[in-house]
Structure 1
Amino acid sequence: MVGPFPLSKLGMLIIRQISRPIANSMKERAKKSYFFRTYVCMPPAQLYHWCEVRTRMWIMGMERSGAVPKLNETMAIELGGNMIGEGIVFGIAATILVYEYNRSAAKEEAREADQQQRLLELDSRLDDLRFTVEEQDAKIRELRRLLAVPAGPGWTEPGRRPPS
C-alpha cells in the first residue's frame, strides 16, 4: 500500500518547508515593526502562554496560585511568529483539503449524472425496441390473416393454445 498516504505526508512536508520562511519573515517583521509586533504577533502569544500555564496549573492541582507572568517581548515575538507560521500551514493544508474534497465530489456527481443519462438512454432504447416488436408482431398477424397461411409448427397466436 504505497498510494496516497506517503504522497500526503510529502505534500505536508513541502507545505511546512514553504511556510518556515514565511514565519521567519514574520518574526523579522515583528522585530522591526511596532504595529506588527504589538497587535499581530504578541497578543496571540501572550494568550496562548496564559492558557497553557493555567491548564498546567489546573492539571497539577494548583488552580488558585496567583497571576500568570507575561512572556518577555523576545519570547512573545518568537512564539507569536511560530503560531502564525503554523496557522499559515494549517490554513494552506485545510484549503487544499477542501479543494480536493470539492473536486472529488464534483467528479463523483458528474459520473453519477453520466450514469443516470446512460440509464435513461437505455430505457428509451428498450421502450423503442418493445414498440418495434409489438408493431412487427401486429404486422405479422395481419399478414397471416390476409394470406390465410396456417401457423407453422409450434407457432401459436397470442391467447390461443397449441393443438394437442
Structure 2
Amino acid sequence: MVLGIPLAKFIPEAFKAFSKPIVNVLKKNVTKSPFWKDTVFIPMAKYYNKQSVRTRLWTQGIRRTKEQIEKSSQMSEEAAIELGAEIVANTFTFIIGLLAILMQQSISAATERKKVEAEENILQRIEKNQLELHRKVLELGLDLQKQDTKIRELNRKVLSLPQYGTLPQQHEKTNISKSVEAF
C-alpha cells in the first residue's frame, strides 16, 4: 500500500510529461490547417476563456455587462491556439484516463466473477462430498442394523441349543461318547 501513494502521484505527472509533446505537435500543426484552427481550436479557446472570465467575476461578486466581459476576455490568435491545444490535450488525457479506469474496472469485475465462480464450484464440490458422505453413513447404518439382526439371530440359536448352559467338561464327555458310539 505504501507503493500505491507514490504511484498515484507519479502516474499523472508521467502522463502529463508524455502528453506535452502531443500538445506541441498540435500547436505546430494547427497553424498549418485553417479548418482546425478556425473551426475547432480558436472558437473553443475563446469560449473557454470567456466562460472562465465570467466565472471569476461571478465568484468575486463583481457585476459586469456583456460588453465588458467580451472586452476583458479577448485574446490573441496565438494565445487562443495555445489554449485550444491545451484543452484538446487535456480532453484526450481525460478520455484516456477514463478508458484506463473503465478497463481496470472491467478487469477487476472479471477477476471477481472468476473468484465467485471458483468459490461456487468449491461449495458445490463440498455439498456433493457431504451428500456422498451422508449416503455412506446411511449405508453403514443399514449394514449395522443387518449385522445387529444377524447377531441377535445367532444369539437365539445359541440359546436354543440343548447344550447351552452346561459345563465345558460335560460337552467334551458327550462329544467323546458320541464319537465312540459312532465307531
In the superposition, the TM-score normalised over structure 2's length comes to 0.76
What is the one-letter code of the residue matched to 1:46? Answer: K
Measured against aligned partners, the alpha-carbon deviations of 1:97-133 in whole angstroms (never above 9, x if no partner) come to 1111111121111101101110111011001100110
Q: Quick one: higher RCO (CA 8 Å, sep 6+), 1 or 2?
A: 1
The question of whether the paired residues in 2 share the 8 Å contact of 1:54 and 1:63 is answered with no
Superposed CA RMSD: 1.6
2:160 corresponds in structure 1 to: none
Structure 2 residues without counterparts, runs of 5 or longer: 156-183
What is the Cα deviation at residue 7 of structure 1? 1.7
The question of whether the paired residues in 2 share the 8 Å contact of 1:30 and 1:77 is answered with yes
Measured against aligned partners, the alpha-carbon deviations of 1:6-50 in whole angstroms (never above 9, x if no partner) come to 123222222111111111111111111101111121122111111
1:84 corresponds in structure 2 to: 88
Rounded to whole Å, the distance in 2 between the matches of 1:14 and 1:100 is 19
2:78 corresponds in structure 1 to: 74
**Within 5 Å, which residues of 2 pair with 1:20-35?**
20-35=20-35
2:107 corresponds in structure 1 to: 103
2:9 corresponds in structure 1 to: 9
Rounded to whole Å, the distance in 2 between the matches of 1:126 and 1:50 is 72
Higher Rg of the two aligned structures = 2
Identity across aligned pairs (percent)? 27
SS at match of 1:11: helix
Give the total of aligned pairs.
150
Structure 1 residues without counterparts, runs of 5 or longer: 151-164
SS at match of 2:64: coil
Rounded to whole Å, the distance in 1 between the matches of 2:78 and 2:148 is 104
Pairing 1:142–2:146 present: yes
